[in-house]
Amino acid sequence: MQCDEVARLLPEAVEGRAAVELSVQRHIETCLRCQVELARYRKMLRGLQLLRTRYLEPTPGLLGQTLAALEEAGERHAMRSVLSGRRLAYAGAIGGAAVAAGAAATAVIVHRSRGRRVPVTG
Amino acid sequence: MTTNELPREPTELDRLVSAARDGDRPAFDELVRRTYVDTYTLAMRLTADEEDARDVVQETYLRAWKGLKGFRGDAQFTTWLYRITANTAYTTVKRRRRHRADALDATVEEPVETRIDAQPEESAEQSAMLARLAGALGQLPPKLRVLVVLKDVYGLSHEEIGEELGISVAAAKVRLHRGRKRLRDLLYDDGEHEGREHGKRWDRAV
């Protein structure tokens, strides 16, 4: 196995022996150049893990803006709930009125049609 | 001696999460206060852009508040939040790429002074090298950077990363491989003499 081939596998090899084939492991054990290269990847990985506990200072006002955005979203949600509740009420009222109007119209038509009926007498 | 793990005592964070899940807004606000520095740090590492990171933080907490009822508590709240942050940041970066194609090659050197928790036992050389590593991370193309940050800095699994980014586990592994390789090249091979010097200094410091 050549160093160039092994070099391509080192980004995985850095995770441990199980991550690469036995032939790769054997090459690394006997090749100083690849050992140095693997050590570099290991150091890089260690550095990345250390970065996990290095926090960055947020830009001023971020907390306040985030809480305000949440507040605003909450208000919008509440407003939508109220509006959708009202819409339901309006729709119910309109529906009720339409039914009542329909019933009234039917009653009038029935009443008129009965009134037009002239009894046939002998 | 038993190997069974004892049930973990609920922490103050757990109690806040539980209250927030029941709709307690002040409890959620307190969660924001306790975690926003961590969220901002992850957002910065993922986007390498201050403005984008701010947007990501706000969007992350809006999504978290809306989705909190779905948080089952089988993962840590912070890990759950990382996943939302990753998803939001990835969407933001993709959107930015569409609007600002040139931003793909943008490089961001992380200013050392933005760090707020320099470790007392840490040597000045090591601090400088970590800043250099963070700077090199910022130079990675966003698609590769996201993988390296989530896997190697935050310890998410390939499966979790694939799920949040909407890519297969195999694709996640390929991108991670490329990301590590590019990062290694940035740390050790950037330039002639100067690059070798950086490489040597990096070798000594970490």
Dump the DSSP string for A38-83.
Answer: HHHHHHHHHHHHHHTT-PBPPPTTHHHHHHHHHHHHHHHHHHHHHH
Contact B116/A55, CB-based, under 8 Å? yes
Taking an 8 Å cut-off on Cβ atoms, the answer to whether A55 and B38 are in contact is yes
Does the residue B64 lie in any domain? yes
Assess whether pLDDT exceeds 70 at residue B4. no
Q: Do B130 and A52 touch (CB under 8 A)?
A: no
Judge whether residue A109 has pLDDT over 70: yes
Q: What is the pLDDT of residues A20-77, one digit of tens each?
A: 788 888 898 899 999 999 999 999 999 999 999 899 999 899 999 999 999 998 877 7
In angstroms, what separates the C-alpha of B2 from chain A's closest C-alpha? 28
Q: Which of A51, A55, A66 sits opposite B61 (nearest CB)?
A: A66
B72 lies in some domain: yes
What sign has the CA pseudo-torsion B188, B190, B196, B201?
Answer: negative
Is residue B47 exposed (0-12), middle (13-18) or buried (19+ Cβ within 10 Å)?
buried
The pLDDT value given to residue A100:
80
Residues B92 and B136 in one domain: no
* Domain termination site, one of B58, B75, B106: B106
Do residue B94 and residue B127 come from a single domain? Answer: no
Assigned domain for B198 exists? yes
Q: How confident is the model at residue A122 (pLDDT cuts 50, 70, 90)?
A: very low
Q: Residue B146 falls within a domain, yes or no?
A: yes
Within this chain, do residues B155 and B87 fall inside the same structural domain, yes or no?
no
Average pLDDT over residues B136-150: 94
Chain B CA closest to residue A13: B177
pLDDT at B3 over 80: no
- Report the CATH number that the domain containing residue B191 is assigned in CATH: 1.10.10.10
Judged against a pLDDT cut of 90, whether residue A82 lies above it is answered with no
Q: Averaged over B140-159, what is the pLDDT?
A: 94
Query: How do the domains of chain A map onto residue ranges?
Result: 3-51, 83-122
Residue B27 has pLDDT above 80, yes or no: yes
Domain finish residue from B106, B136, B171: B106
Whether the per-residue pLDDT at B118 is higher than 60: the answer is no
- Would the pLDDT of B22 be above 60? yes
Percent with pLDDT over 90 in chain A: 34
What DSSP state is assigned to residue B122? S
Supply the CATH number for residue B26's domain.
1.10.1740.10
Do B50 and A54 lie within an 8 Å CB cutoff? no
Q: Smallest CA–CA separation between A91 and chain B, in Å?
A: 28
Judgement on whether residues B47 and B97 belong to the same structural domain of the protein: yes
pTM for the model:
0.74
Of residues B148, B41, B59, B45, the one with CA closest to residue B95: B59
Which chain B residues contact residue A46 at CB under 8 A? 206
- Predicted pLDDT at B50: 93
Judged by DSSP in three states, B146 sits in helix
Same domain, B101 and B14: yes
Across the interface, of A45, A54, A62, the residue whose CB is closest to B115 is A54
Closest residue in A to B134 (Cα) is A51
Confidence (pLDDT) at A74: 80
Domain limits at B146?
Answer: 123-206
pLDDT above 80 (res B186): yes
Least CB–CB distance from A51: residue in B36, B130, B180: B130
B89, part of any domain: yes
Q: Say if residue B112's pLDDT is above 50.
A: no
Model confidence at B204, pLDDT cuts 50, 70, 90, reads low
Q: What residues of A are in contact with residue B116 (Cβ under 8 Å)?
A: 55-57
- Domain limit, last residue, from B53, B73, B106: B106
Asked whether residue B2 is domain-assigned, the answer is: no
> Are residues B161 and B99 both part of a single domain?
no
Contact, B140 vs A4, CB < 8 A? no
Are both B47 and B74 inside the same structural domain?
yes
Residue B62 in domain: yes
Average pLDDT on B48-55 reads 93
pLDDT at B129: 85
- Number of domains forming the structure of chain B: 2
pLDDT above 70 as % of chain B? 75
* Residue that the structure tokens 């307190």 belong to: B30
Q: Which residue has the higher pLDDT, A92 or B194?
A: A92
Kindly list the residues from chain B whose CB atom is less than 8 angstroms away from the CB atom of residue A55. Answer: 37-38, 41, 115-117
In chain B, what residues touch A33 (CB-CB under 8 Å)? none
Q: Is the pLDDT of residue B53 over 90?
A: yes
Chain B residue with Cα closest to A52: B153
